[in-house]
A and B are shown apart, each in its own frame.
Chain A
């Protein structure tokens, strides 16, 4: 792939450094991140390729690869990076930045899951497992997904039918709204 280096190519890296404090330019492509990554096999753009793409400011290929969503947040790459780059922090920066953007995303169910997860937590203060699974499966048009896994759990009392409510939910909602107001201010 041929990339013309222009001045605004560096903007993506700068913006990310602004959000996360991490400098992608430190990466020298040793590939340790990719070699240790448990989900690299499922990524079109491997972690070290993501780092190079960020250095070159290739925004669209980064988004279209879906790599930021396929990452499992297992912290292996951070731990092993010889340049001490917090790759997961960079990926989280990408995720927060692009969470609600209508770019093409090959794994749309991931940001959808995160939004739903937080919606339920906002309501109950804790996660309502059965509700999360049920709504998510409906949204993914696969309503019977994992019923073979859920049934034995249900029979052993490991899945509760009704949500747990926390008395802390009210405080959480207040804090969440204050944070949102602060983020809008910025």
Chain B
């Protein structure tokens, strides 16, 4: 299957490990990714706080490039990007006034035919789970994983239309298919606060601490994530959190694609594992992967 690929700003810098591992996993699953021509930033939280039209226009620019190049499916691995892209599609399909004004601003008239997928949605497509199971070479036996889905994978349900809104299961089922043990916990979709990470770090530290504490309490060896922003908050800020709240976590924050890649037998370098700040070594030794 061929998809247009919208990496988003994070995956080309602070989340290069997510980019590497996603590409490795897609290769293993016979999914072809073609980077969207001259894509631009989705605008994330700044555009929709500035101008409603701009928040539609920025995603439409990249989506229209994909449409022009003949794609009808697009993968966006960052939660913020995939929500902005999906929301823009919905506005273009349902709001004639917005559509008219966006068309006036662009030379190419976007018809909203490109469907946006988060990688987890692709993994949940029919028949994919069997393919995933068939690719597993090394099981994640004994690895207890808290799957953290972040804020906007399933919210708002009207736009996301994916998984169970308050208690998603897709990543859990992947971890199970890899032979790991997904844990039941209550912070799966709590917000990590990333939109204020540069301005009000105090709020971010509190929210991320809540998530780490809960994961520790249920006995997680690792937290699996599916968003570059959650990962940066929980991983790179973990030292600050430990310092501020006088606790010791040392929980590695691993992309679910990295765990898939490991189970498929890829080398840790191909998956960017050495880029994780909290070392995953201890956790991976439990299941004999390191």
Q: Do A and B bind each other?
A: yes
- Listed in ascending order, the chain A residues whose CB lies under 8 Å from chain B are 19, 38-39, 41-42, 70, 72-76, 78-79, 86, 92, 95-96, 99, 107, 109-111, 113-115, 117-118, 121, 125-127, 129, 132-133, 136, 140, 145-146, 148-149, 152-153, 156-160, 164, 166-169, 171-172, 175-176, 178-179, 182-183
A110 near B199 (CB under 8 angstroms)? yes
- A-B contacts, 24 of them at CB < 8 A, read A38-B207, A39-B191, A39-B207, A42-B200, A42-B202, A73-B195, A75-B152, A76-B191, A92-B49, A92-B52, A96-B50, A110-B199, A117-B44, A118-B50, A118-B54, A126-B9, A127-B9, A129-B13, A132-B198, A153-B277, A156-B274, A168-B61, A175-B61, A176-B54
Do most interface residues of chain B lie in helix, strand or loop, or is the interface mixed? helix
Stretch at the interface among B101-109, B128-136, B178-186: B101-109
- 12 new A-B contacts, CB < 8 A, other than A72-B194, A73-B195, are A19-B52, A73-B48, A75-B152, A76-B155, A99-B49, A114-B49, A127-B9, A136-B198, A167-B38, A172-B58, A175-B57, A176-B57
Q: How far is the CB of B20 from chain A (nearest CB, A)?
A: 11
Cα separation A39 to B41 with both chains bound (whole Å): 26
B155 near A79 (CB under 8 angstroms)? yes
A183 near B53 (CB under 8 angstroms)? yes
Given A110-B199, A158-B275 in contact, is the A125-B41 Cβ separation under 8 Å?
A: yes
Stretch at the interface among B119-127, B169-177, B212-220, B235-243: B235-243
- The bracket for how many chain B residues form the interface is 35 or more
Chain B, residues 229-261, CB within 8 Å of chain A (1/0): the string is 000100011011000000000000000000000
**Which residues of B lie under 8 Å from residue A132 when comparing CB positions?**
198
B105 near A178 (CB under 8 angstroms)? yes
Given A110-B196, A166-B40, A168-B38 in contact, is the A149-B14 Cβ separation under 8 Å?
A: no
Contact of B41 among A121, A160, A182 (CB under 8 A): A121
